[in-house]
């Protein structure tokens, strides 16, 4: 089991009242000054020698020296381990009376998982059958699916009471208020074993056998996804595979490693040891003909949280399966934007997949992140994610032959979350919990209807708000994680150019949030020459409450302003370094050129003027 954070243990020791816990077990305590006393439950006591100090939330027996916190009380009176005691207190499960003398409690204290009726042949023996290893299409599917549904619900309930899992979601920018509920995200922390009937009973053996058939438990009895954030892959109610409608087809686990040593020892990405089936968020294929395809589920959920709901995910770099192909064909997908990681493996897989997609008649683009980054890394470093990811979608490379198809881009606007459920799995108690009444309603980002209306910031005749700077791949700065909700950008007013020259002869021009510095313009004394050193930069800014904060960025190069090829290269690279669209830099460069030509004309006239003009004499002087 992952190591329980010390902060979590201290929180339970402080927040759970030991006095009320003891009283709930049916014990009678008498007030003695500031403390409470009772007969000790750990030895034969006739003098009420056990004292509970309410102010410190501790107990101590002056007869047998038993002492400790609320965690110690639960472990000793219930005969459970520390992790089990933590789960009992976190879930608020009722406690039985003192069970002194029991080496290990047989009471589960948590809602138990119940094994279903399995027809003959549907046993754990199926686990060893590579072809039908827990396949939900076999004759035991109803029983196994019902049990797997309970597992998903248990993991979902764990997530809501696990600070380490919630902190991980926030760290990865996946703290969207609707993500957890919509996709039934969960956390495996070994508490599942506390919900199983005792192993020596018939029911205990049956449920363990079925969990092993599903791959949830290993042959050793340990949870396969222990220590992982769990994302279920669910068959759509009316999807490409109707036989699997509403079924949990796979569970993806992303290990939450508390330190580097554990991260290096255990695999980060896990799936149940069963065939990779289904398409995560298949509802997107129903609603849209243009789809963003990510390499991993974390990246796909990043796009989803940023407002791009037309996103699905493969099962890793080589995990585009037959189910994906069948779903694309069944739902009539026309365009795919491949948003795989920008590394050697991702590039190779994207190129191979693009070739196959184009051969089937599906238009294909490649979303290019800075080298070495994936969607989640990029969205966390370049805020706000809705605008930075939108820019990359707008600038995606066309991988087909011939002229790139035209794309009309619209501004993002808040819409409701799609009604098609992505996880119609199991109606568990955790899934039925209502949202907190104190939470303020927030608008949900747009679900883009098509690539012809992808919600990304776009360069139009009136300049749109500038994107935050895109750091160079070798100097990636940390940015404030995205905070929901993502609202539609508001067009900024057009700022008038501010030009000036300093004492060094440098030409300075400010255009909105970009500041230009031009050197060497004085040397261009021929009308057909304009070779200069051009620097453009943006300053660091701080958004409201830290949201949308950006860091300073700049780009500098020497170019001939009259060379279209050099201008185009400068525009493209400067746009990447500053994180803005090409048209913004192109318009700025046009303003700079006009100002430089005016300065050049004045300089040429001054150079051609006589240095020592002949004096004009008056009549008297003549």
pLDDT at 412: 39
pLDDT at 339: 95
**Where does residue 46 rank: exposed (0-12), middle (13-18), buried (19+ CB within 10 A)?**
exposed
pLDDT at 88: 76
pLDDT at 226: 87
Torsion of CA 329, 332, 333, 334, to 10 degrees: 120
pLDDT at 596: 85
* Residue 494 near residue 463, CB atoms below 8 Å: yes
- Flag residues of the chain having pLDDT under 70: 1-3, 91-141, 237-244, 257-265, 402-501, 503, 525, 541-551, 607-613
The DSSP element (H or E) to which 59 belongs, if any, is strand 58-61
* Residue 380 near residue 481, CB atoms below 8 Å: yes
Please, where are the H alpha helices in 59-100?
A: 70-78, 82-91
pLDDT at 112: 58
Q: Measure the CA–CA gap between 341 and 373, rounded to whole angstroms.
A: 6
Q: Measure the CA–CA gap between 71 and 73, rounded to whole angstroms.
A: 5
Residue 335's nearest CA partner among 316, 313, 354 is: 354
pLDDT at 189: 83
pLDDT at 562: 87
| Cβ neighbours for 424, distance < 8 A, ≥ 6 positions apart | 234, 236, 237, 246
Residue where the block lists tokens 């400010």: 510
The b-or-e profile of 438-452 (16+ CB within 10 A means b, else e) is: eeeeeebbbbbbbbe
| Cβ neighbours for 553, distance < 8 A, ≥ 6 positions apart | 469, 470, 471, 537, 538, 577, 578, 579
Number of H helices, E strands in the chain: 18, 19
Q: Measure the CA–CA gap between 148 and 210, rounded to whole angstroms.
A: 9
Q: What are phi and psi of 329, to 5 degrees?
A: -70, -45
pLDDT at 369: 92
pLDDT at 450: 41
Statement: the pTM of the whole predicted model exceeds 0.85: no
Q: Other CB atoms closer than 10 Å to residue 183's CB: what's the count?
A: 23
Sheet strands (E) in 239-323: 248-255, 269-271, 290-294, 311-313
- Measured over the CA atoms of residue 92, residue 97, residue 102 and residue 105, the dihedral's sign is negative
CA angle 578, 580, 584 (to 5 degrees): 115
pLDDT at 108: 47
Residue 95's nearest CA partner among 160, 25, 177 is: 25
């Amino acid at each position: 089991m992952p190591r329980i954070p010390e902060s979590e243990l201290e929180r339970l020791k402080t927040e759970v009242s030991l006095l009320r816990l003891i009283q709930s077990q049916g014990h009678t305590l008498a007030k003695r000054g500031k403390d409470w006393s009772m007969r000790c439950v750990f030895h034969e006591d006739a003098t009420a020698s056990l004292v509970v100090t309410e102010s410190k939330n501790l107990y101590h027996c002056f007869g047998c020296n038993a002492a400790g916190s609320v965690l110690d009380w639960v472990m000793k009176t219930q005969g459970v381990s520390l992790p089990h005691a933590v789960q009992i207190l976190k879930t608020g499960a009722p406690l039985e009376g003192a069970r002194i003398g029991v080496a290990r409690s047989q009471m589960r204290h948590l809602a138990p998982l119940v094994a279903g009726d399995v027809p003959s042949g549907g046993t754990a023996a199926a686990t060893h059958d590579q072809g039908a290893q827990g396949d939900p299409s076999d004759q035991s599917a109803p029983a196994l699916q019902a049990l797997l549904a309970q597992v998903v619900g248990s993991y979902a309930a764990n997530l809501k009471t696990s600070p380490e899992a919630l902190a991980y979601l926030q760290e990865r920018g996946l703290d969207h208020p609707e993500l957890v509920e919509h996709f039934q995200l969960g956390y495996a922390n070994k508490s599942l074993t506390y919900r199983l009937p005792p192993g020596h009973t018939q029911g205990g053996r049956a449920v363990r056998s079925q969990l092993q058939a599903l791959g949830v438990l290993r042959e050793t009895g340990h949870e396969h996804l222990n220590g992982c954030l769990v994302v279920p892959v669910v068959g759509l109610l009316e999807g490409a595979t109707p036989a699997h409608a509403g079924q949990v087809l796979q569970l993806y686990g992303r290990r939450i490693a508390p330190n580097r040593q554990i991260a290096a020892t255990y695999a980060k990405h896990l799936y149940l040891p069963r065939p990779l089936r289904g398409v995560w968020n298949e509802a997107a294929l129903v609603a849209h003909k243009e789809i963003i395809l990510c390499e991993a589920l974390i990246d796909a959920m990043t796009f989803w949280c940023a407002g791009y709901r037309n996103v699905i995910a493969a099962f890793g770099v080589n995990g585009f399966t037959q189910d994906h192909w069948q779903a694309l064909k069944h739902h009539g997908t026309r365009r795919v934007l491949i948003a795989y990681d920008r590394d050697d493996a991702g590039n190779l897989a994207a190129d191979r997949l693009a070739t196959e997609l184009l051969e089937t008649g599906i238009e294909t683009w490649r979303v290019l992140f800075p080298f070495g980054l994936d969607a989640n890394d990029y969205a966390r470093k370049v805020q706000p994610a809705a605008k930075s990811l939108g820019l990359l979608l707008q600038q995606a490379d066309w991988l087909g032959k011939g002229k790139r198809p035209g794309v009309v881009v619209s501004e993002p606007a808040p819409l409701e979350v799609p009604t098609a459920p992505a996880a119609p799995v199991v109606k568990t108690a955790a899934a039925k919990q209502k949202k907190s009444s104190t939470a303020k309603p927030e608008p949900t980002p747009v679900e883009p209807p098509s690539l012809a209306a992808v919600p990304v910031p776009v360069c139009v005749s009136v300049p749109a708000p500038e994107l935050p700077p895109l750091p160079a791949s070798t100097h990636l700065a940390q940015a404030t994680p995205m905070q929901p909700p993502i609202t539609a950008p508001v067009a900024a007013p057009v700022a008038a150019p501010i030009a000036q020259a300093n004492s060094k002869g440098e030409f300075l021009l400010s255009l909105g949030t970009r500041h230009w510095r031009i050197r060497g313009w004085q040397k261009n004394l021929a009308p057909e020459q304009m070779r200069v050193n051009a620097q453009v930069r943006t300053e660091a800014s701080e958004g409201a409450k830290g949201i949308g904060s950006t860091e300073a960025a700049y780009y500098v190069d020497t170019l001939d302003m009259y060379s279209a090829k050099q201008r185009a290269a400068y525009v493209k690279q400067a746009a990447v370094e500053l994180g803005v669209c090409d048209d913004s830099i192109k318009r700025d460069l046009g303003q700079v050129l006009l100002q430089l030509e005016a300065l050049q004309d004045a300089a040429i006239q001054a150079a051609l003027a006589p240095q020592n003009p002949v004096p004009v004499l008056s009549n008297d002087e003549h």
